């Protein structure tokens, strides 16, 4: 496979224009989220469903069947759109899903379709996380599943996943679920998976299985050559890569087994089944409890990915027992003799097994005409854009310093120096043995929470020596902020060129951060030392647009009443600016009066404060979903946040009455107790009725029954032959949608 060329836009824009665009982009996503085809269609379906619900509440009982049939089609269509949006852009469905009270009412009104409505809640379970790498090294997919008991759910994060998350962690997510897909508004690691025998230091015991499928001949790949790719000590291999990159603390050993023909033909998406079948096929020959790493290599002409791997360690289960261990799946065409000449097997295996160690991709982060944009600016990420790390595109480069720190191959206070004040530093080559200063972790500006990582690459050893020459000219710099997670983000310190093959800040060059008081000077370089000065000057004042958020994202409200939002404003000015006051306003919906509970106090840079926005809904406005906004403005800087409001039709009151045929019963008889539940004058079909019966001795028993289409639920209570005689009392609590009502008690006597 040819090396992918990674280029930046050849068209460059001036600094002033770039700032304008960056400010515009910070505002526009909320607007575009309201207008793209999927969300527009979802909003339309939401409004149709609310209209049908309103008609159901006010129509004669005879019209209910037709309305429920129409609603079933709408509910099915919106479930499909919600499910797709959860996969592609999970933040959008979180803002367009109905609130819990609306969902409860819709489920009661349309019980046959209730299972297709989204549910809002919190889910907690064990995580399995697999990354699939596409051969084009442009596209990839994170496959995250949360196992809760016997159920498994796909999880998609609206924001970056929790820091350090990996397989087998116990994860709690809050959001919405459609079928088996969860859009997570936020997530927290409840407990970290124990390493067991699966860690990043020491000899990584690895078993490699070569497997094929019925009807597919085994490729002409010699197991001995695969053994050399993984464990060889001469030339390049996974083991020697790890040994060199870890400064001798990590390596790999093990064996290659196969070829095995599996028991069935599996698709590439059935990777879990391939793993189970491969272990079963090799079990008579392999004691899997002796290994903590499993690699499966198989042929395929239809796979959409080149390799796939767990992030961290899952489990390896065989007839010998279950152990903590990681799994990677790779296509055999990267291990053919011709591919071996280009080290594709080593490149692919060190990448996929890097995921197994707990790493994500080495990306590039482009800020156009600048090396680095303002704090909080996303820039443009190229997922595999780092051509100097095997966790990026096809290359043999060492894992970057932030990744080596995650693996405990480098340590702060040891080979990494944390820099928060002025200083001069002599950085040794990144490839040299441990015990020297090999990386700087530099605070981005006084008091900042982001970091600039600096390392010095040289053509030393078997791996970095294969890289392009410019990477050896000076400081290689990566950026870490709240979005980085377990990725690394390479910066381009030569933004004036169109290539990502020359990112270094070369000797005698300087970089001045346009947004903080940080300056880095590379004062000199020899093959053995890079001399670097770090300076923190006066903190500049750089005004920026504020960030505005509204919560909750989509509350329900009746026409003629009001709805409240918590409006949070964050001052994004640089730390050198003075605190300032922001003026608040709300323009959408334009006919809804707006009141803020208080004026915002003065907000310091990088700080936030909140107030309450009350929107009054005019009487007579149609049910439906409406966009609500709030803006904060100060001295030419404006930020706008968005939410929704769902105007629901007024719900008729819920009533429940109890009845029994006669006032007295003998022992050893059946007492039919009926609850009739109405919403307004219409039967409440599918209401949950909990009967509570109190015996003469004050002991109690309960029974829950659902109402039928006539709104009635009957409990046939059996009085035992030796049952108590005397007065009995029955009450019933009925729940329908978001409404709950308790029926007046009735009594009967057993004689």
CATH number, position 239: 3.40.390
pLDDT band at 457; cut points 50, 70, 90: very high
Instruction: Give one word for 247, left, alpha or beta, with left for phi > 0 and alpha for psi -120 to 50.
Output: left
Helix axes 223-231, 344-357, angle to 10 degrees: 60
- Look at residue 436 and tell me if it is in a domain: yes
Higher pLDDT, 62 or 374: 374
Can you give the pLDDT at residue 201? 96
Can you give the pLDDT at residue 23? 28
Using alpha carbons, list the distances in angstroms from residue 195 to 6, 152, 438.
37, 23, 28
Domain identity same for 222 and 343: yes
pLDDT band at 64; cut points 50, 70, 90: confident
Handedness of CA 322, 326, 330, 336 (dihedral sign): negative
Reported pTM: 0.84
| Mean pLDDT, residues 440-469 | 96
- Look at residue 188 and tell me if it is in a domain: yes
The pLDDT tens digits of the residues spanning 470-526 come to 999 999 999 999 999 999 999 999 999 989 999 999 999 999 999 999 999 999 999
Q: Residue 560: give its domain's CATH number.
A: 2.60.40.10
Q: Are 569 and 548 within 8 A, CB to CB?
A: yes
Structure tokens at 596: 């803020």
- According to DSSP, residue 372 is labeled S
- Look at residue 541 and tell me if it is in a domain: no
- Look at residue 688 and tell me if it is in a domain: yes
Domain identity same for 465 and 591: no
Integer Cα distance of 394 and 706 in angstroms: 61
Integer Cα distance of 69 and 111 in angstroms: 11
Domain identity same for 125 and 60: no
Domain identity same for 428 and 459: yes
Domain identity same for 618 and 686: no
Total structural domains within the chain: 6
Integer Cα distance of 467 and 565 in angstroms: 54
- Look at residue 15 and tell me if it is in a domain: no
- Listing DSSP states for 45-101 in one string gives HHHHHHHHHHHHHHS-GGGHHHHHHHHHHHHHHHHHHHHHHHHH-THHHHHHSPPHH
Q: What angle do CA 302, 305, 306 make, to 5 degrees?
A: 105
Integer Cα distance of 246 and 649 in angstroms: 64
Q: Are 312 and 326 within 8 A, CB to CB?
A: yes
Domain identity same for 187 and 251: no
Whose tokens are 């809760």? That residue is 148
Integer Cα distance of 239 and 245 in angstroms: 10
The pLDDT tens digits of the residues spanning 127-147 come to 999 999 887 767 788 999 999
- Look at residue 12 and tell me if it is in a domain: no
Domain identity same for 643 and 658: no
Handedness of CA 442, 444, 450, 455 (dihedral sign): negative
Whose tokens are 């037709």? That residue is 66
| Mean pLDDT, residues 211-235 | 94
Helix (H, G, I), strand (E, B) or coil at 355: helix
Q: CB-based contacts of 61: which residues, under 8 Å, 6+ apart?
A: 682, 683
The pLDDT tens digits of the residues spanning 141-191 come to 899 999 999 999 999 999 888 988 999 999 999 999 999 999 999 999 999
- Look at residue 632 and tell me if it is in a domain: yes
The pLDDT tens digits of the residues spanning 246-291 come to 999 999 999 999 999 999 999 988 999 999 999 999 999 999 999 9
Integer Cα distance of 739 and 104 in angstroms: 9
Integer Cα distance of 23 and 419 in angstroms: 30
Q: Residue 668: give its domain's CATH number.
A: 2.60.40.1930
Whether the predicted pLDDT of 20 surpasses 70: no
Domain identity same for 140 and 112: no
Using alpha carbons, list the distances in angstroms from residue 698 to 694, 726, 732, 742.
6, 11, 16, 20
Domain identity same for 414 and 319: no
Domain's final residue, options 623, 647, 671:
647
Domain identity same for 456 and 523: yes
Domain's final residue, options 88, 117, 146:
117
| Mean pLDDT, residues 299-303 | 83
| Mean pLDDT, residues 396-408 | 97
Integer Cα distance of 83 and 92 in angstroms: 11
Whether the predicted pLDDT of 7 surpasses 60: no
Can you give the pLDDT at residue 3? 35
Integer Cα distance of 77 and 92 in angstroms: 16
- Look at residue 24 and tell me if it is in a domain: no
Using alpha carbons, list the distances in angstroms from residue 84 to 43, 182, 440.
15, 11, 43
Handedness of CA 467, 468, 472, 477 (dihedral sign): negative
Whether the predicted pLDDT of 396 surpasses 80: yes
pLDDT band at 31; cut points 50, 70, 90: very low
Can you give the pLDDT at residue 35? 64
Integer Cα distance of 229 and 345 in angstroms: 6
Q: What is the mean pLDDT of the chain?
A: 91
Domain's final residue, options 647, 668, 692:
647
Cis peptide before 259 (omega within 30 of 0): yes
Backbone angles phi, psi at 213, to 5 degrees: -120, 160
> In which order are the strands placed within the sheet that holds 423-427?
423-427, 529-536, 518-526, 510-512
Residue 579: how many other CB atoms lie within 10 Å = 12
Domain identity same for 622 and 692: no
Q: Which domain holds residue 637?
A: 547-647
Higher pLDDT, 463 or 59: 463
Whether the predicted pLDDT of 19 surpasses 50: no
Can you give the pLDDT at residue 11? 26
Integer Cα distance of 409 and 416 in angstroms: 10
Using alpha carbons, list the distances in angstroms from residue 725 to 425, 660, 683, 728.
93, 18, 35, 9
Domain identity same for 123 and 113: no
Q: Are 465 and 430 within 8 A, CB to CB?
A: no
pLDDT band at 108; cut points 50, 70, 90: confident
Whether the predicted pLDDT of 357 surpasses 90: yes
């Amino acid at each position: 496979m040819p090396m992918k060329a990674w280029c930046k836009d050849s068209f460059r824009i001036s600094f002033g224009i770039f700032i304008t665009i960056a400010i515009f982009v910070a505002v526009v996503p909320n607007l575009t989220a309201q207008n793209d085809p999927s969300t527009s269609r979802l909003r339309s379906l939401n409004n149709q469903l609310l209209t049908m619900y309103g008609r159901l509440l006010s129509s004669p009982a005879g019209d209910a069947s037709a309305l429920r049939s129409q609603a079933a089609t709408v509910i099915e269509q919106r479930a499909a759109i919600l499910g797709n949006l959860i996969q592609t852009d999970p933040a959008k469905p979180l803002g367009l899903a109905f609130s819990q009270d609306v969902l409860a009412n819709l489920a009661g009104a349309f019980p046959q379709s209730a299972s297709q409505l989204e549910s809002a809640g919190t889910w907690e379970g064990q995580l399995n996380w697999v990354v699939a790498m596409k051969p084009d090294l442009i596209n990839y997919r994170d496959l995250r599943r949360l196992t809760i008991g016997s159920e498994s759910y796909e999880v998609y994060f609206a924001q970056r996943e929790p820091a350090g998350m990996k397989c087998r962690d116990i994860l709690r997510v809050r959001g919405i679920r459609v079928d088996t897909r969860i859009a997570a508004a936020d997530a927290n690691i409840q407990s970290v998976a124990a390493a067991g025998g699966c860690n990043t230091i020491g000899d990584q015991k690895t078993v490699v299985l070569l497997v094929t499928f019925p009807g597919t001949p085994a490729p002409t790949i010699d197991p001995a050559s695969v053994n050399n790719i993984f464990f060889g000590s001469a030339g390049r291999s996974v083991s020697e890569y790890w040994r060199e990159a870890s400064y001798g603390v990590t390596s790999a050993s093990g064996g290659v087994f196969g070829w095995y023909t599996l028991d069935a033909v599996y698709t590439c998406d059935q990777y879990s089944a391939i793993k189970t079948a491969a272990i079963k096929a090799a079990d008579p020959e392999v004691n899997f409890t002796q290994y903590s790493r499993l690699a499966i290599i198989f042929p395929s002409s239809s796979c959409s990915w080149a390799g796939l791997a767990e992030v961290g360690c899952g489990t390896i289960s065989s007839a010998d027992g279950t152990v903590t261990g990681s799994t990677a799946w790779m296509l055999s065409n990267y291990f053919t003799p011709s591919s071996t000449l280009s080290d594709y097997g080593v490149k692919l295996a060190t990448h996929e097994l890097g995921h197994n160690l707990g790493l994500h991709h080495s990306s590039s982060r482009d800020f156009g005409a600048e090396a680095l944009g303002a704090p909080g600016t996303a820039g443009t990420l190229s997922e595999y854009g780092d051509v100097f790390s095997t966790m990026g595109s096809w290359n043999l480069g060492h894992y970057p310093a932030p990744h080596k720190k995650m693996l405990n191959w480098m340590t702060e206070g040891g080979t990494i120096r944390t820099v928060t004040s002025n200083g001069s530093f002599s950085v040794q080559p990144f490839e040299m043995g441990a015990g020297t200063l090999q990386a700087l972790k530099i605070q981005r500006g006084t008091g900042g929470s982001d970091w600039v990582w600096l390392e010095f690459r040289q053509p030393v050893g078997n791996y970095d020596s294969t890289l392009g020459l410019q990477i050896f000219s000076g400081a290689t710099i990566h950026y870490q902020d709240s979005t980085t997670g377990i990725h690394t983000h390479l910066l381009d310190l030569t933004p004036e060129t169109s290539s990502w093959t020359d990112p270094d800040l070369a000797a005698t060059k300087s970089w001045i951060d346009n947004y903080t008081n940080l300056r880095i000077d590379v004062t000199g370089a020899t093959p053995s030392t890079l001399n670097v000065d770090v300076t923190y000057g006066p903190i500049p004042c750089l005004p920026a647009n504020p960030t505005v958020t509204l919560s909750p994202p989509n509350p329900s409200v009746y026409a003629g009443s009001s709805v409240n939002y918590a409006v949070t404003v964050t001052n994004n000015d640089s730390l050198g600016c003075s605190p300032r006051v922001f003026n608040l306003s709300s323009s959408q919906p334009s006919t809804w009066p707006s009141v803020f509970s208080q004026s915002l106090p003065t907000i310091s840079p990088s700080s936030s404060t909140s107030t309450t926005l009350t929107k009054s809904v005019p009487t007579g406005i149609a049910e439906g979903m409406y966009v609500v906004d709030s803006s904060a403005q100060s001295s030419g800087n404006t930020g706008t946040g968005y939410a929704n409001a769902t105007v629901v039709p007024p719900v008729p009151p819920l009533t429940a009455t109890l009845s029994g045929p006669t006032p007295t019963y003998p022992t050893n008889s059946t007492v039919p107790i009926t609850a009739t539940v109405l919403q307004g004058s219409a039967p409440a079909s599918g209401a949950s009725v909990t009967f509570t019966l109190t015996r003469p001795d004050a002991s109690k028993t309960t029974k829950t029954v659902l109402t039928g289409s006539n709104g009635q639920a009957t409990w046939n209570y059996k009085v035992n032959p030796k049952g108590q005689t005397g007065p009995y009392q029955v009450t019933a609590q009925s729940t329908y949608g978001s409404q709950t009502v308790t029926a007046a008690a009735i009594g009967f006597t057993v004689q």
